[in-house]
Amino acid sequence: QAGQIIEQANRAAERIQQEAQEKAREEARRIVEGASRDIDAERQRAIHAIRLQMADIVTGAVRRIVGESLDGERHRQLIEAAIEQVEKEPSASQ
């Protein structure tokens, strides 16, 4: 009988060990998935912030370029050319 008791105890210990290992694997999987979601969300926020910064940089650069290169005469010429182009195109209401 002592042998049976020892055998049962060994099996119970092995089962407990396997259950603990499975729980640890499941917890590790949940942690990795959560971290992956957090990383992806942070990545998306970073991409969005970079896009906003790039838009600001480009807008500022365009303003400087346009402001420097368009004197009054050139500005008037561009406006006249735009008006002529609109006058040449058929009206959308026709």
Query: Is the model's pLDDT at 92 over the cut of 80?
Result: no
- pTM confidence score: 0.51
* pLDDT at 2 (0 to 100): 86
Query: Is the model's pLDDT at 3 over the cut of 60?
Result: yes
Percent share of the chain, pLDDT over 90: 46
Cα–Cα distance, 27 to 21 (Å, whole number):
10
- Give pLDDT tens digits for 28-73: 999 999 999 999 999 999 989 988 888 888 777 777 777 666 667 7
